[in-house]
Amino acid sequence: MTQIDHNIAVATWLAPVQAVPPERPGPGRPDTTAEFGDLWRILWRRKALVLGTALLLGLAVLAYALLTPALYTATAQILIDPRDRQVVSNDVNPGALSPDGGIAQVESQVKVIESDAVLGRAVSQTGLETVPGFGIPEDSPLAQALASLRERITGPKPQRTVDPRGRALDQLRRKLAVKRADKVFVIDVVVTTKDADLSAGIVNAIANAYLADQTEARSDAAKRAAGDLRGRLDELRTAVSRADKKLEDYKAQNGLITSSGRLVNEQQLTDLNTRLVAARARTAEAKARLQGVRDARGQAIGSGAMPEAVQSAAIDRLRGQYAELAAKEADLRTNLGERHPFIAAARTQMQDVRRLIDAELNRIAGAAETESQRAQANERTLSAELERLQRQSAATAKSSVQLRELEREVEASRSVYNSFLVRAREIKEQSSIDSSNARIITAARPPEDPSWPPRLILVAAALAGGLGLGAGLALMREYMAPTVLSQRQLEQLSNAPVVGVLPGLRPRGANAAAASFTLDHLAATTSDGGASLALLVTSGEADEAARRAVIRLLAAVAVGRGDRVLLVEADLRSDGAATGGLLDVLRGEQSLNAVIQTDPKSGARWIGLGDTEKPLRDALTPANVARFIAGVKGRFELIIVDGGVLTENLRLGPLAAAADRLLLVACNGATRQRDLIELVDTSEALGRPISGSLLLKRRRA
């Protein structure tokens, strides 16, 4: 036999040879662990299940999308600002923001929109009591069939009167969606029905009904508050009247007369005190003037300034005349001398003027004296009257304390009454003012396209979901009946190294190199070191075709290298050839040369199974098999025995024991682990454990 060709490069698809094969997971126990790359092989091998599930689910969803009536969705947007409009300074409706920024207030308005108060207005406005599907039940054939079936199962239901308005409200609430996005005060009102115009009409009716309900609610609140205040006004008015009467009665009983909000005696006392102060000032002024006049006597002729008390026009004229006469007398005395008659006449005139000045001063002094006496008398009169009023005020002081208490009570009652009266008038006027800060920012329009069913999206989602479901089913089936997914699993399950990995089955390129490497490795590891190799090839039941193809590939590669190759058909399940075969040779009925043929596909020599009608125990004896193997080894360098499925060919024990190597063929992602475990157990029971495994990546090439 040709030795290992060292010029053949060991590619990455060739499995490394392990000196000590790993042990299996356990007796009769599959290895269900898989790597991420194995999942694709599982799905590809079961692609029919995956694609069939996706197609089935897609067709079901497509049928649903085609048969389901179209639904139309209309949307309106309402902006609700929690800060109300400041129309008046003291509105009865609170306008301050809550600690959470008004979010809770806006969320509460969502519930208000969904309430019967708002939806009832919308039902009345759009007349939903008479619309089929709302106030009137829809008589569809499917609904009638379901109702009939339900009555047959549960019995007839008792007849009861159905309120169209209540039914319309219930149906509208099912078709209504009120939602608010995060961090905004905009509420979306969404209604979905089978009619586009009806959806838009209902949404706009709900939005308008909400605004009308808010206006009416605020107006009602103002009216209720005004009514409550008016109810209190009568009591307050009675309280004010009672307090006024009590005050007046007390005044009348105690002689307390008031004018301009003050007691008369207090006003008199104040006025008299003011007059007394003025009288005392006038008395002091009169005394000062009188003293000034007295001091001015004998000084009025001088050239100095006259006191203010004695200033008068007459004295000023007389003083002027006196000054002229004095100047004239001085001039005459200078010109004429002391004894001239003109000087005497001038002096006489000066004495007459002096007497007139003194007379005028006496008159002024008398007037000042009279005025001083009158001021003193007035002062004494006012002082006496003040003393009298003070005594009277002291007598009424105790009554004034109670009087002031009654006045404060009257003032407080009147103030409360006035406040309630003004507030009642303000609230009454506020009832006609809408201070709410809500408005429709987007009115609903009839939608052109249906919102349900979205056929393309549903079908795409169904296909995606079907692929996922199919992949899940495929993985589940793989878990229930695991297959060989990797070289590691094959080594663990077969308790033997993987001597080669075949990318395909064509006898050229990488496949030929891998097959050549496999043959060289098996020949190099034989125990006897002979020149010929007897190789028994087996596989699982599902890999029968792959096994035969691998045998032909190995034979073709060996023939191509110049080896003499003999293919032996030993699968006892196949039909025996009429020209004779292995069993006939083992029985000694025919010679090897008589039954040997040439395989046209591989070019190797080939013998069939032979006659299977005769008892097999006469042929498959250890002596016959040993003699046969020894004979063919002398003529051929490679003997490949097709052992079929070893678990079903237990009579091949002598042949397996006589073979040099036992090669197991497995297909990646196709060979069932349970079959593989049974093959390994059978080979060990027959006394010939598996020498190596050949992993085939693809069954077909």
Does residue 84 sit in the same domain as residue 184? yes
Does residue 204 sit in the same domain as residue 173? yes
Across residues 327-346, what is the average pLDDT? 75
**Residue 16, domain member (yes or no):** no
Crossing angle of the two packed helices 397-430 and 341-395, in degrees rounded to 10:
80
**Residue 170, domain member (yes or no):** yes
Residue 440 near residue 80 (C-beta atoms within 8 A): no
pLDDT in tens, 588-640: 888 888 889 898 888 899 998 888 888 888 888 989 899 999 999 989 999 99
**Residue 4, domain member (yes or no):** no
pTM of the full structure = 0.51
Q: Quick one: pLDDT at residue 27? A: 45
Does residue 547 sit in the same domain as residue 600? yes
Does residue 280 sit in the same domain as residue 353? yes
Does residue 220 sit in the same domain as residue 350? no
- Between CA 133 and CA 171 the distance in angstroms is 7
Q: Quick one: pLDDT at residue 445? A: 92
- Between CA 246 and CA 248 the distance in angstroms is 6
Does residue 177 sit in the same domain as residue 82? yes
- Between CA 469 and CA 460 the distance in angstroms is 14
**Cβ count within 10 A of residue 418:** 12
Q: Quick one: pLDDT at residue 538? A: 93
Confidence of residue 421 (pLDDT cuts 50, 70, 90): confident
- Between CA 144 and CA 150 the distance in angstroms is 10
Domain total in the chain: 4
Q: Quick one: pLDDT at residue 665? A: 93
Those residues with Cβ within 8 angstroms of residue 47's Cβ, 6 or more apart along the chain or in another chain: none
Does residue 520 sit in the same domain as residue 666? yes
- Between CA 312 and CA 298 the distance in angstroms is 16
Does residue 468 sit in the same domain as residue 574? no
Does residue 54 sit in the same domain as residue 162? no
pLDDT in tens, 428-483: 776 666 666 788 999 999 998 888 888 889 889 999 999 999 888 888 887 787 88
Whole-Å CA distances, 654 to 57, 603, 651: 55, 28, 7
Q: Quick one: pLDDT at residue 217? A: 84
CATH number of the domain that 581 lies in?
Answer: 3.40.50.300
Whole-Å CA distances, 568 to 551, 581, 613, 637, 691: 10, 9, 19, 13, 19
Whole-Å CA distances, 260 to 187, 208, 673: 63, 59, 120
Q: Show the domain range for 604.
A: 489-696
Q: Quick one: pLDDT at residue 91? A: 57
- Between CA 175 and CA 206 the distance in angstroms is 13
Does residue 470 sit in the same domain as residue 545? no
Buried b (16+ CB within 10 A) or exposed e, 92-103: beeeeeeeeebb
**Residue 517, domain member (yes or no):** yes
**Residue 10, domain member (yes or no):** no
Does residue 207 sit in the same domain as residue 274? no
Confidence of residue 278 (pLDDT cuts 50, 70, 90): confident
Residue 389 near residue 268 (C-beta atoms within 8 A): yes
Residue 225 near residue 472 (C-beta atoms within 8 A): no
Residue 535 near residue 690 (C-beta atoms within 8 A): no
Comparing 655 with 337, the larger pLDDT belongs to 655
**Residue 322, domain member (yes or no):** yes
Does residue 174 sit in the same domain as residue 278? no
**Residue 118, domain member (yes or no):** yes
DSSP 286: H
DSSP 562: T
- Provide φ and ψ at 567, rounded to 5°: -100, 130
**Residue 237, domain member (yes or no):** no
Average model confidence (pLDDT) across the chain: 79
Q: Quick one: pLDDT at residue 5? A: 37
